[in-house]
Amino acid sequence: MRQFIDVTGKTEDEAIQNALRQLGLDRDDVSVEILERAKSGFLGLGSSPAKVRVSYGPEEEEEVLAPAPAPKEKPQEERPKPPKAEKPPRQERKPAEAPAPAPEEKTRQSAPVQTLGEEVDDEKAQAIRKFLSGLLEQMESAAEIHIYLLEKGRYKVILEGKNLGALIGRRGETLDAIQQLTSYAVNRSGSGRVRVQLDAENYREKREQSLQHLARKVAAKVTKYRRSVTLEPMNAYERHVIHTALQDVPNVTTYSTGTEPNRRVIVAYDREKK
């Protein structure tokens, strides 16, 4: 049975962290509902703290749903767009499924510089490039490496080329492993830690959109039938996408259960959440 506590803090984040400390739980072990947002007031007058309700504990699991592969989920969200049906052969399985990703993928891949700015070649970027070049050579991949600085200490690395599926792997597992190895290698030596975010063929963006679509679809089902739905196992990042996508949806709450690598998200009905 689900339980909850109401906690306050100067900000919403502080209130959530206070609750997690009290419960001794992680963020994806609980679901959070913001009851009152913090108000700063004027010169300290009229200010009020944030108040959140943090729910935790088991709930009956009714059904298990698996997120479809990223390239297939995204087109489902685009179904209501009949103008994209100019390529009939691609619509045999799912109307408007194939046309949707084609123009978007081309748009994203053709202008990485416009989105991310100029590539960088500082000391950390050179270390990233050196490690990845050696790793890709061992994997017999001819992918090109493009490195951008998103903000201080955070690098975006994009791999471009043909047949990058082997670098992505099932549900992005290989891509995650390469990202972790690169981060470890770069931070092992030198001063200052950096974060490395690795992507190939816009996989992460498409996967995130796929998960958001799945979250909305499941939330609608949970609201309609008032029954919990358990998703397939996901990594921490994917679970975070689901939690974030549904955190403001009325009558729907989310929490995680299980242990890695089989930890999964449960989407549950909550009639008190508005």
Which CATH number covers residue 174? 3.30.300.20
> How many structural domains are present in the chain?
3
**229, pLDDT greater than 90:** yes
Q: What integer is the mean pLDDT of 119-137?
A: 93
Report the pLDDT value the prediction gives residue 42, as an integer from 0 to 100: 58
Query: At 40, which CATH number?
Result: 3.30.30
Instruction: Please tell me the total number of residues recorded for the chain in this structure.
Output: 274
CB 32 within 8 A of CB 21: no
Residue 63 covered by a domain: no
Q: What integer is the mean pLDDT of 254-269?
A: 90
Alpha-carbon distance of 79 to 217, in angstroms, equals 13
Least confident of 35-39, 81-85, 220-224, 269-273: 81-85
Which pTM value belongs to this model?
0.54
Residue 169 covered by a domain: yes
Are 178 and 145 contained in the same domain?
yes
Q: What integer is the mean pLDDT of 74-99?
A: 46
The strands making up 229-231's β-sheet, listed across from edge to edge, are: 64-65, 229-231, 264-269, 252-257
Are 227 and 188 contained in the same domain?
no
Residue 127 covered by a domain: yes
Are 194 and 250 contained in the same domain?
no
Report the pLDDT value the prediction gives residue 1, as an integer from 0 to 100: 63
- Here the tokens at position 174 are 């290989």
Which residues constitute the domain of residue 19? 3-56
Cβ neighbors of 152 (< 8 A, separation 6 or more) are none
**90, pLDDT greater than 80:** no
Cα–Cα distances (Å) from 83 to 54, 176, 210, in that order, read 44, 36, 21
Are 150 and 212 contained in the same domain?
no
Are 132 and 191 contained in the same domain?
yes
Domain boundary among 184, 201, 218: 201
Sign of CA dihedral 204, 106, 67, 213: positive
> How wide is the angle at C-alpha 161 spanned by C-alphas 103 and 202, nearest 5°?
45
Which pairing describes strands 229-231 and 3-9: parallel, antiparallel, or unpaired?
unpaired
**Contacts by 115-119, CB closer than 8 A, 24 or more apart:** 116/148, 116/150, 116/156, 116/158, 117/148, 117/149, 118/148, 119/146, 119/147, 119/148
**143, pLDDT greater than 80:** yes
Are 164 and 146 contained in the same domain?
yes
Which pairing describes strands 3-9 and 50-56: parallel, antiparallel, or unpaired?
antiparallel
The candidate with the shortest Cα–Cα distance to 56, out of 28, 98, 97, is 28
Return the SS3 of 58. coil
Cα–Cα distances (Å) from 227 to 60, 61, 249, in that order, read 9, 8, 15
Residue 136 covered by a domain: yes
How large a percentage of the chain has pLDDT more than 90? 41
Q: What integer is the mean pLDDT of 127-132?
A: 95
Residue 195 phi/psi, 5-degree rounding, is -105, 135
DSSP-H helix ranges across 69-195: 70-77, 101-110, 112-116, 123-138, 165-168, 173-188
Query: At 252, which CATH number?
Result: 3.30.1370.50
Domain boundary among 153, 183, 201: 201
pLDDT tens for 43-86 read 556 678 888 888 877 655 545 555 555 554 444 444 555 555 55
- Here the tokens at position 156 are 């975006």
**28, pLDDT greater than 80:** no
Report the pLDDT value the prediction gives residue 112, as an integer from 0 to 100: 40
Residue 62 covered by a domain: no
Domain boundary among 145, 175, 201: 201
Q: Sorting pLDDT into bands at 50, 70 and 90, what band is 156? A: very high
Residue 81 covered by a domain: no
Least confident of 87-91, 121-125, 173-177, 254-258: 87-91
CB 54 within 8 A of CB 87: no
Are 159 and 186 contained in the same domain?
yes
Alpha-carbon distance of 35 to 28, in angstroms, equals 19
Residue 230 phi/psi, 5-degree rounding, is -105, 130
Are 194 and 233 contained in the same domain?
no
